[in-house]
């Protein structure tokens, strides 16, 4: 496994691949402020062991990909969906199985609707339907919103403060089914922050818009859809996943009992099994 940079126009996207390129491809898109490391290496390798060719990558403003001045992102979620297609081009992949989580799920929906010929199947984890009215659904829980508000007091140029905020964040997004391992979370966050070109740029993700041209189009999704959602997700309560599955014909819904807004190692077997069945 080596890092590979995909370059186009003035953009660099850092990627990594697992498994054999002769196997069925999977492209992973992660969520807001999260580098590709949030798709754990062991999780990617588990998918590869099921004879898939797995590619993960850093979204713009995360990890080793192109970064921009904080507060002034010159791109949209539509551009990030095009980034996914450019990664496929860089690997010479005509069409893929696309998996997106959280904000990555929104980007994946845009990519699948904009480029149906490039997407074989779509899997959406811990995300919300794009382009339809979700105001009647439960919103992010108050406890997480209170935590998020403290982000305004963080000096995002100070790695020590960033790490403390993000470690707390991993605790706040955790589900109730499994014990929270703070030491493991801290080691991971420290690695992610050290690896970033400039972590403060990741805050640009909270200013992004996109998908307006696809409003109301989700029901027209051509790719077979699998929805995976934790029943204790504090960011997008499970009703968001349920609405996703109702909106797209023949979509499948897998509920992770007690799962949070995370890909917990104790849930990998259930998640990978569901993905494997969906893709085959």
Q: Quote the DSSP letter at residue 133.
A: -
- Average pLDDT (105-111) is 98
Tell me if 65 sits within 8 A of 199, measured CB to CB.
no
- Average pLDDT (27-46) is 98
- Which residues face 60 on adjacent strands? none
- Which residues face 228 on adjacent strands? 125, 254
Identify the pLDDT of residue 72. Answer: 86
129-165 burial code (b ≥16 CB/10 A, e <16): bbbeebeeeeeeeeebeebeeebeeeebeeeeebbeb
pLDDT tens profile 69-98: 999 899 999 999 999 999 999 999 999 999
CB atoms within 10 A of CB 108: 28
Alpha-helix runs per DSSP H in 214-261: 238-247
pTM above 0.75, yes or no: yes
pLDDT for residue 2 is more than 80: no
Q: Rounded to 5 degrees, what angle do the CA atoms 213, 249, 131 make?
A: 25
pLDDT tens profile 210-247: 999 999 999 999 999 999 999 999 999 999 999 999 99
Identify the pLDDT of residue 1. Answer: 66
Angle formed by the axes of helices 268-279 and 41-49, nearest 10°: 40
Q: Going by C-beta distance under 8 Å and a sequence separation of 6 or more, which residues neighbour residue 158?
A: none
Q: How far apart are CA 235 and CA 36, in angstroms?
A: 20
Share of the chain above pLDDT 90, in %: 98
- Average pLDDT (4-29) is 97
What is the SS3 assignment for 215?
Answer: coil
Q: Rounded to 5 degrees, what angle do the CA atoms 142, 145, 149 make?
A: 140
CB atoms within 10 A of CB 269: 10
Q: How far apart are CA 124 and CA 60, in angstroms?
A: 20
Q: How far apart are CA 77 and CA 82, in angstroms?
A: 9
- Average pLDDT (260-265) is 97
pLDDT for residue 280 is more than 90: no
pLDDT tens profile 132-178: 999 999 999 999 999 999 999 999 999 999 999 999 999 999 999 99
Q: How far apart are CA 216 and CA 196, in angstroms?
A: 36
CATH number for region 3-279: 3.40.50.1820
């Amino acid at each position: 496994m080596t890092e590979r940079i995909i370059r186009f126009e003035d953009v660099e996207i850092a990627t990594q691949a697992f498994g054999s390129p002769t196997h069925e491809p999977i492209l992973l898109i992660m969520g807001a402020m999260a580098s590709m490391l949030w798709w754990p290496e062991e999780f990617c390798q588990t998918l590869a062991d099921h004879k898939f060719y797995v590619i993960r990558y850093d979204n713009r403003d995360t990890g080793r990909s192109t970064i921009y001045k904080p507060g002034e992102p010159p791109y949209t979620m539509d551009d990030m969906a095009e980034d996914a297609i450019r990664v496929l081009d860089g690997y010479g992949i005509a069409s893929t199985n696309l998996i997106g989580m959280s904000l990555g799920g929104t980007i994946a929906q845009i990519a699948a609707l904009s480029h149906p010929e490039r997407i074989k199947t779509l899997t959406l984890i811990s995300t919300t339907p794009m382009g339809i009215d979700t105001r009647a659904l439960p919103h992010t829980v108050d406890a997480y919103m209170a935590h998020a508000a403290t982000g305004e007091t963080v000096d995002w140029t100070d790695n020590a403060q960033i790490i403390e905020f993000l470690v707390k964040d991993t605790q706040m997004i955790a589900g109730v089914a499994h014990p929270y391992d703070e030491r493991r979370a801290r080691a991971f966050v420290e690695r992610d922050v050290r690896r970033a070109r400039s972590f403060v740029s990741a805050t640009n993700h909270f200013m992004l818009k996109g998908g307006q041209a696809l409003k109301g189009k989700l029901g027209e999704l051509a790719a077979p859809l699998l929805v995976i959602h934790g029943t204790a997700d504090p960011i997008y309560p499970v009703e968001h996943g349920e609405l996703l599955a109702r909106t797209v014909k023949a979509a499948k819904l897998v509920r992770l009992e007690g799962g949070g807004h995370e890909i917990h190692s104790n849930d990998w077997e259930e998640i990978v099994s569901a993905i494997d069945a969906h893709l085959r």
